[in-house]
Amino acid sequence: MTDVTLDWCTEQDAHDPLGNYRSRFDIPEGVIYMDGNSLGPLPVGVSEHVASVINNEWRDGLVKSWNDADWINLPERTAAKIAPLIGAAAHEVILADSTSVNLFKTAAAACKLNPGRTQILSEPGNFPTDLYMMEGLASFLGGDYHLDTVAREDITAAITDDTAVVLLTQVHYITADMLDIGAITKAAHNKGALVVWDLSHSTGAVPVDLHAANADMAVGCGYKYLNGGPGAPAFIYVAERHQNVIQQPLSGWFGHKAPFDFVDEYVPSTGIKCMLTGTTGVLAASALNKALDAFAGVDMALVREKSVALTDLFITLTESKLKRFDVGLATPKNSARRGSHVSLIHPNAYAVMQALIERGIIGDFRAPNHLRFGITPLYLGYSDVFQAISALEEVLKSGVWREEKFSEKSAVT
């Protein structure tokens, strides 16, 4: 790709088969939003839907709405919209809790299914909550249970007859390096181990096919590419073959076979509902349920094709315009190994990003020195990428990022 101009990008946008999907998102005027892998923007219709849930279902319907508005089945109904995005059947997915809680539940269940094995295997540099939860799980289980971490490229070789569960994130949250779910799952199964996949930086951005990969369990986030809003609930996938034999540790009343019998003894529900714990947060789940309508009719193959094209463009422009400013690339050039974001390296990444945000180009900073840009094909175009790199070039060329205000770190970076 040579001699890329804004006019060329505008021409690509004019013929983009996904171009019309941008109208499904309520993005502020003058903003190029490249942080959808931290918090997706507000989809059109969500505000009105949540207001209706509050004013009609909650205010008018009151407690009757658990039945009349079908709040009780909101986890299943929402999960049914997620299932096609991860290559799963609707009855294998449920909306529940947070990603962190779901990591604990699924990994603990995997250990229970693999008695006598005491190793939990992951990678250093995985998203911190994944490692923290596995450290906590190993400590809680006690005995010989332990967490080991090895480099991504060494994972399959590190799986042994003592490995109970392998916990990995498909798309690395900083580098965007993307693992082969099928190959790693097969390698784990060959050793008798189970695998839990964290799809938080995959779902809604890259095609996922858990059935084709013969996956065991997976979890994912509702507020990133699925655009469910800040703190949106997460989801759990459990392959049908593991359902009804799986035992998760947080046996709350919504996971009970008959929660409204109010009996003392816990009897797990059948199927995927056994992974539920407590009462559904109806407002948050309703927001996510409506937000998922933005994916109605979306061909994930086209999403992937555009994602590759946009990230290729981003990398090409970075190499042609930014190398002289001490900017490095943390993301694989090989598109087959790349998710849907690009991370750049700069010694003053935090200040540079803050200066860029002030110009309406919103990405994020990841310690210690990464500028991270989420490339979300449903609402970003070629012109957006060109303008973002041009703005970044100007920030670096002018040195404006050196202003003291851009180095003052906020609580959330």
Does the domain made of 6-30+299-407 have the CATH classification 3.30.70.100?
Answer: no
Angle of the 6-14 helix axis to the 382-398 helix axis, nearest 10: 160
Question: Rounded mean pLDDT of the chain?
Answer: 97
Residue 218 CA to residue 282 CA, distance in Å, equals 23
- 413 — pLDDT class (breaks 50, 70, 90): confident
How confident is the model over 55-69, as a mean pLDDT? 98
- What are the two backbone dihedrals, phi and then psi, of residue 306, each rounded to the nearest 5 degrees? -70, -40
- 383 — pLDDT class (breaks 50, 70, 90): very high
Amino acid at 56: N
Residue 270 CA to residue 19 CA, distance in Å, equals 42
| Secondary structure class of 204 (helix, strand, coil) | coil
Residue 394 CA to residue 388 CA, distance in Å, equals 10
- What are the two backbone dihedrals, phi and then psi, of residue 48, each rounded to the nearest 5 degrees? -65, -40
Looking at the predicted structure, is the pLDDT value of residue 1 above 60? no
Q: Is the dihedral of CA 131, 133, 135, 138 positive or negative?
A: negative
Residue 271 CA to residue 93 CA, distance in Å, equals 10
Residue 361 CA to residue 35 CA, distance in Å, equals 9
What confidence tens digit (pLDDT) does each residue in 3-50 have?
Answer: 899 999 999 999 999 999 999 999 999 999 999 999 999 999 999 999
Identify which of 316, 322, 328 has the alpha carbon closest to the alpha carbon of residue 369.
328
Domain with CATH 3.40.640.10 in the chain: 48-295
Sequence-distant (6+) residues with CB within 8 A of 211 are 87, 88, 89
Identify which of 138, 165, 170, 134 has the alpha carbon closest to the alpha carbon of residue 152.
170
Q: What pLDDT shows up at residue 2? A: 57
What confidence tens digit (pLDDT) does each residue in 127-159 have?
Answer: 999 999 999 999 999 999 999 999 999 999 999
Please compute, for residue 74, the number of CA atoms within 13 A of its CA located in the half-sphere on the CB side.
26
Domain with CATH 3.90.1150.10 in the chain: 6-30+299-407
Q: How many other C-beta atoms lie within 10 A of the C-beta of residue 153?
A: 10
| Secondary structure class of 270 (helix, strand, coil) | coil
% of the chain with per-residue pLDDT over 90: 98
Does the domain made of 48-295 have the CATH classification 3.40.630.30?
Answer: no
Looking at the predicted structure, is the pLDDT value of residue 207 above 70? yes
Q: What pLDDT shows up at residue 211? A: 98
What confidence tens digit (pLDDT) does each residue in 101-114 have?
Answer: 999 999 999 999 99
DSSP, residue by residue, 59-104: TTTGGGHHHHT-GGGHHHHHHHHHGGGTT--GGGEEE-S-HHHHHH
Q: Distance between the two ends of the chain, CA-based, in angstroms? A: 33
Residue 148 CA to residue 192 CA, distance in Å, equals 17
Q: Which two tokens stand for residue 267?
A: 């009897």
- 204 — pLDDT class (breaks 50, 70, 90): very high
Residue 353 CA to residue 365 CA, distance in Å, equals 7
Q: What pLDDT shows up at residue 3? A: 80
- Among all residues, which ones are annotated catalytic? 127, 198, 223-224, 372
188 vs 114, 163, 177, CA distance in Å?
12, 9, 20
What confidence tens digit (pLDDT) does each residue in 394-411 have?
Answer: 999 999 999 999 999 999
164 vs 175, 241, 244, 255, 279, CA distance in Å?
27, 17, 19, 24, 30
What confidence tens digit (pLDDT) does each residue in 311-365 have?
Answer: 999 999 999 999 899 999 999 999 999 999 999 999 999 999 999 999 999 999 9
Identify which of 329, 39, 32, 305 has the alpha carbon closest to the alpha carbon of residue 176.
329
Identify which of 37, 77, 38 has the alpha carbon closest to the alpha carbon of residue 285.
77
Q: Which two tokens stand for residue 261?
A: 């019998």
